[in-house]
Structure 1
């Protein structure tokens, strides 16, 4: 971190170990941005909130239902959302739940979780390097985001996905590419959110 800090104004680090990101941040003399770890994905959460603000004008009072694996994306959205008035409801099968204390409301039934939600969010079921994929797919099958599940959300609800998606698995193609999908605006906002973050960190 000491040497690298003499070459750059900031370090953006994606790692398979959250501890390594923390170690680098402690050693570096420049800002270190967590671009993704197994535990957290804060840059994605920034883009998610930007997308919600663009669509609804204000974040205060919004309800986002995250359906599927209670993973790093769900955790970071819940942690950040509670600071800006966004209620994040996470629905996952047993063994894949988000831990209590992350700031989310935990609901076992996905239909209940998406009720009156302003946004329905999902992510891939299997990440790179994961084993026992068949058992995980079987557990997550009732949590697929399809037209029937989306119909339980608010009439104004949008669909979010951090991409890449597997149409037909965690989300149907009709929903992913449908008129309520904000997925590609959300993907574009990764660029804008990260530009703003670097501007804040480097030119403060």
Structure 2
């Protein structure tokens, strides 16, 4: 519903809409900032992101005569559906199937998506309200405290113990001269961030104080599990 009715904050942020990149990346520091200089020079993450963004825009279905803000918001919807949503659906599918749970995604019905894609932005957001059209459509089915409830993301504040375990694991990696993650990531950059109490850049778009830490640990575990080596 957020993707087709415009519920995410970046749909309503003028700076994000005007950015020459994926709107959810605007103003964010990504884990690419941790790469060792020689690795960054080889993989060129900024160029990769820019190229993927250009390719994404090439696939936007255009409406004749549509210009300005309406044209841009169509691009944002296309990016949300084709680049933002698929990883979320895959994650839901993997997690639910791991325990044999069948998850329904009614807002992914192609007939609904096709129809709503051509509803003007002003109609989708009456009065400037996020997902206003959807709220109005179900107003006679839901109590006001539900229909008008502000958007709330998943809880992102982890348990204290989880933070402690991640921090300890990160220090173990720093002390391990053979930790494979540091074939990719600059060890001193991570060391300084931990010493100064600064969070590491996270791949997650939602604020999460340890999103960068668990990403660092997960990448190291993945490299070890699959015995990946760089040449």
Q: TM-score, normalised by structure 2?
A: 0.24
Higher helix share: 2
Rg comparison, structure with higher value: 2
- Answer 1 or 2: higher relative contact order, Cα 8 Å, separation at least 6: 2
